Amino acid sequence: MHAPTFAIRPLPDVLVDALQSRFGAQFSTALAVREHHGRDESAFSVPPPAAVVFAQSTADVADAVKLAASHAVPIIPFGVGSSLEGHLLAVQGGISLDVARMNAILSINADDLTVTVQPGVTRKQLNEAIKHTGLFFPIDPGADASIGGMCATRASGTNAVRYGTMRENVLALEVVTARGDTIRTGTRAKKSSAGYDLTRLMVGSEGTLGVVTEVTLKIYPLPEAISAAICSFPSIEAAVRTTIQVIQLGVPIARVELIDANTVRMVNAYAKLGLREEPMLLMEFHGSPTGVKEQAELVQEIASDHGGQAFEWASTPEERTRLWTARHNAYFAAVQSRPGCKAISTDTCVPISRLADCLLDSVAEADASGIPYFLVGHVGDGNFHFGYLIDPDSAEEREKAEALNHALVTRALALDGTCSGEHGIGLHKMDFLVTEAGDGAVAMMRAIKQALDPLNILNPGKIFRL
């Protein structure tokens, strides 16, 4: 990784005046506000944006983009600030466009299993809002991220093994283009062959091709039966081999998450869960009561073959919440285990048959490095995260962590995997993207960017260098 370079474009006074006049109290240049919008969960330190606009409507977004365009000034959409890869950082200066106030649920079409929301709605808010319908939205990155941000990074999470990622679950978007035009990328039809797939082009484009102002999502009937279990294993390898077999047999498991012994210790300390401090799989089964029972029995058998023991089952929502607390608190528990640290997260994803090859050597390398780390994984998808917990002021630790990440990504790419399963490229993985996709594919991305944003104002300096 290179440290980000800054070539800050100035915010002309005339633009400040125009923004002030158009947005009044929705506009701020106060340092505290700017600093809040100049940080995310990445380990980078970059000067804050020059100003912040708090959009409350698509018209606000369109006008902010038009004003930015009129002076070729960067504009960076901002949701809740939970990016892990520096997506929100104003490496070329400009305006942070905070869409958190655009948090209306616009329509719930329970009969069609779709919902349309503004981008500032968070995933938990969405699930709260649709609870009465008996439906739910499965995608759950660790943070309570905004739906707009989840579109931007093509997020996924623990349920992706069964329900897919944002790639599969965004049906249509409203987007403000780099010229400030408002377009729709699709309809509520479940499938379509009508022209280029602008929806999927926008999903994962990290705010560089347009600003998402409405999102239509698929939602799902809450399963008739849900059962969750944790199971401890004698080694990470045993847990991983169990997962591989479950997936290869086509078990429609809803969640299968790995937590290593080290991370269980951190979570126990953070949330007093009293879990066995051994490598662990957290699993969840969705279906009819008999379907869930069948799946659970089969998985239990596979786990036993690999030395899995101490199965603990949870069928009530409260018991399930307790088990899942371990997984959902892993990141924060880990970061708190070393006060003042920053986590450098890895995000490789490999074909399931390569998972053990990719993971086990990387564990050995991390252990040998002496850098504290956590390890969790959406292992059913072949995706896992190391979080190397570094002292952000120690160049040596940062270098060691990046060397570990580099070795891991190199290994994953050699195994036909990707450098990023769900966090995006941002600032952090630009070099990896070139290695993974090749110059020709990155050139194609760049050509698309230049065609859709010729002034390079939409979150510039991310994904690739222009």
Residues 444-463 that bind a second copy (CB under 8 A): 444-445, 447-448, 450-452, 463
Of 123, 285, 287, the residue nearest 217 (C-alpha): 123
| Contact between 259 and 376 (Cβ < 8 Å) | yes
C-alpha 302 chain-centroid distance: 30
| Contact between 255 and 314 (Cβ < 8 Å) | no
Of 119, 120, 93, the residue nearest 29 (C-alpha): 93
C-alpha 371 chain-centroid distance: 24
Among 14, 189, 310, 395, binds a second copy (CB under 8 A): 189
Amino acid occupying residue 344: I
Output the smallest distance, CB 245 to a second copy, in A.
Answer: 10
Q: Which of residues 255-314 bind a second copy (CB under 8 A)?
A: 287-288, 290-291, 294
The DSSP-derived string for 381-394 is GTEEEEEEEE-TT-
Cβ atoms within 10 Å of 39's Cβ, excluding its own? 16
193 binds a second copy (CB under 8 A): yes
Output the smallest distance, CB 208 to a second copy, in A.
Answer: 8
Output the smallest distance, CB 242 to a second copy, in A.
Answer: 15
317 contact partners, CB below 8 Å, separation of at least 6: none
Among 8, 16, 113, 455, binds a second copy (CB under 8 A): 113
How do 95-98 and 75-78 pair as beta strands? parallel
Output the smallest distance, CB 209 to a second copy, in A.
Answer: 8
* Binding residue count for a second copy, defined by CB under 8 A: 91
Among 39, 200, 265, 322, binds a second copy (CB under 8 A): 200
Closer to a second copy by CB, 103 or 114: give it.
Answer: 114
Among 112, 277, 402, 431, binds a second copy (CB under 8 A): 112
Cβ atoms within 10 Å of 309's Cβ, excluding its own? 12
347 binds a second copy (CB under 8 A): yes
Among 187, 304, 321, 394, binds a second copy (CB under 8 A): 187
Closer to a second copy by CB, 52 or 253: give it.
Answer: 253
Distance CA 54, CA 178 (A): 18
Distance CA 417, CA 422 (A): 13
Q: Which of residues 144-163 bind a second copy (CB under 8 A)?
A: 153-156, 160
28 binds a second copy (CB under 8 A): no
Q: Which of residues 393-452 bind a second copy (CB under 8 A)?
A: 413, 416-425, 429, 432-433, 436-438, 440-442, 444-445, 447-448, 450-452
Output the smallest distance, CB 24 to a second copy, in A.
Answer: 28
Distance CA 141, CA 119 (A): 16
Closer to a second copy by CB, 92 or 185: give it.
Answer: 185
C-alpha 37 chain-centroid distance: 18
Closer to a second copy by CB, 424 or 460: give it.
Answer: 424
